[in-house]
Structure 1
């Protein structure tokens, strides 16, 4: 912002603060609007002349120079397309790997794109989402595979050999069943101890 030249105000140094304020409020700048308009017109004219010179220059270029310029433009375009294709291929490969690990399509696509872009924060966030969903699925599957107790089991009237059931479950690698039979055996023992 332009400062006011107080030397242009007569007796400014000897005025009281109220008089100075009144003098500053009454101060009028020189009107430079005409000069500003003149400068804008000169700039517009210079831009027009530069555009005209550029047009004339391009018209004077030889056919060979024009061809070189066109070839350079095409090469730049092809390089950009190649880079886009390579990135698309990379994203596609990553997506296939994420889907093979159990990711759903949408999460795999999003994670692959983030991985290709180098956005590790997004990759780790998506991995956390996947692991949460996967843990829920594993628990649900384990509950579905857990055998239902037979009537009378745990009431002392059943003839279930828990050691045998636990051994079978361990051979099959069914840890949920092992835990289930251990729990039933503990419940039965607790009920027997109460009696």
Structure 2
């Protein structure tokens, strides 16, 4: 795909296409790329990321996040991966019983602006379905109740901060049923207790 957002073209070639056709498609894409307007990434610095985390959340979350960022290679977690970078942030917040509202305030447009606040809902639900965390309703007067994030998986609770990504990846690798919950019977096979096995 080439071209600016809203005016992109998909350049394809069939197997065995003429070399000149491939060259022309590449030249067209390169020309459009060179003529495109530079789009700033607008991501906060790590220093600001952690400073605002200390203000809105707390030192424990910020310290965990700093450790994770130091341990992960670039691009290890992103929006296209599962678990995503948002899943990782929700899990870190749940290790310290933070309000979901506060996490979204930190990450959203009114905070550091790394992701729209509403996009965290699906990631929170994915962690709940895999029994890594729970969402506890907290009374907050009239209107919708607030949710407190709480880690309930022993491995997630006991892991060092740098081990949290591996815990998440391991759980997300397990098969799930139709509603997204981890299948507890996955891989059991004949490892059932001998008294549960059928005689053949």
Q: Same fold (TM over 0.5)?
A: no
Which structure: larger Rg?
1
With CA pairs under 8 Å and 6+ residues apart, which has the higher RCO, 1 or 2? Answer: 2
Greater strand share, 1 or 2?
A: 2
Greater helix share, 1 or 2?
A: 1
